[in-house]
């Protein structure tokens, strides 16, 4: 059977990465978390105390760091210059910095190149903000996942508690709102649905129902190719 490219875009904590991971396992596809790539760039910048508005320094950083993504059924492991940073890139300050650094042309250029290299052979599900619009505009199947911001904030809040942090719900909510605004209003590759994306509201759906729904769209699409 033909192995296609599936794009899942949407705002932070819309449930896209969990759904993408489970759908990939079900289809025997590789899952690529593109947000993790921007997070890793942000961590690299933070570690060397770089001002992300310094174009020369940022360009030098992007030309020297090594970023590797390793796929496992339970998710991606992300490496910065050979070091496993999968946990560290989930910290809230890295979420903010990832959003800021992802607005920079040099960063997007490098990441899009890497994402295209990883996905071009098909049999992949990529999640992010611009997969269906910029990275793979010809992807055979595109989803745009949404959910009310309060639902998303609640999910992120519970995730943080599970990880052992002691989050404040209002802070989580306002940070999500800020990040969505920045990601949607930036000049380069803003978060917008591709014209041919299927919009999914994950708000009222449990995770199994989400995966089931995506899978049914996949079956319809694959039957038409």
Q: Binding residues for ligand DC, per CB under 6 A?
A: 12, 34-35, 38-39, 98-99, 102, 128-131, 179, 183
Q: Which is nearer to ligand DC, 38 or 218 (CB)?
A: 38
Q: Which is nearer to ligand DC, 79 or 222 (CB)?
A: 79
Q: Is residue 202 classed exposed, middle or buried when 0-12, 13-18 and 19+ CB atoms within 10 A define those classes?
A: buried
Instruction: Supply the minimum distance, in Å, between the C-beta of residue 131 and ligand DC.
Output: 6
Instruction: Supply the minimum distance, in Å, between the C-beta of residue 222 and ligand DC.
Output: 24
Q: Which is nearer to ligand DC, 40 or 211 (CB)?
A: 40
Long-range residue pairs from 147-154, CB within 8 A, at least 24 positions apart, any chain: 147/13, 147/14, 147/15, 147/201, 147/202, 147/203, 148/203, 149/11, 149/173, 149/176, 149/177, 149/180, 151/202, 151/203, 152/11, 152/12, 152/13, 152/14, 152/15, 152/176, 153/13
Q: Which is nearer to ligand DC, 21 or 129 (CB)?
A: 129
Q: Which is nearer to ligand DC, 2 or 155 (CB)?
A: 155
Instruction: Supply the minimum distance, in Å, between the C-beta of residue 102 and ligand DC.
Output: 3
Q: Which of 218, 220, 120, 169 is nearest to 13 (CA)?
A: 169
Instruction: Supply the minimum distance, in Å, between the C-beta of residue 216 and ligand DC.
Output: 24
Instruction: Supply the minimum distance, in Å, between the C-beta of residue 219 and ligand DC.
Output: 26
């Amino acid at each position: 059977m033909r192995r296609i490219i599936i794009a899942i875009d949407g705002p932070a904590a819309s449930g896209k990465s969990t759904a993408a991971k489970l759908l990939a396992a079900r289809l025997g596809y590789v899952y690529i978390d593109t947000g993790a790539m921007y997070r890793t760039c942000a961590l690299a910048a933070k570690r060397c105390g770089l001002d992300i508005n310094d174009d020369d320094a940022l360009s030098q950083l992007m030309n020297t760091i090594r970023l590797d993504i390793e796929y496992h059924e339970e998710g991606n492991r992300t490496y910065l210059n050979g070091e496993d940073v999968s946990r560290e890139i989930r910290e809230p300050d890295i979420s903010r910095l990832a959003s800021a650094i992802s607005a920079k042309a040099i960063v997007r250029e490098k990441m899009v190149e890497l994402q295209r290299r990883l996905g071009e052979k098909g049999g992949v599900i990529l999640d992010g903000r611009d997969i269906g619009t910029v990275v793979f505009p010809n992807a055979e199947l595109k989803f745009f996942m949404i959910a009310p911001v309060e639902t998303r904030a609640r999910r992120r809040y519970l995730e943080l508690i599970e990880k052992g942090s002691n989050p404040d719900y209002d802070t989580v909510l306002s940070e999500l709102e800020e990040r969505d605004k920045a990601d949607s209003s930036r000049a380069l590759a803003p978060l917008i649905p591709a014209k041919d994306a299927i919009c999914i509201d994950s708000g009222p759906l449990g995770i199994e129902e989400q995966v089931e729904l995506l899978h049914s769209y996949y079956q319809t699409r694959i039957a038409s190719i």
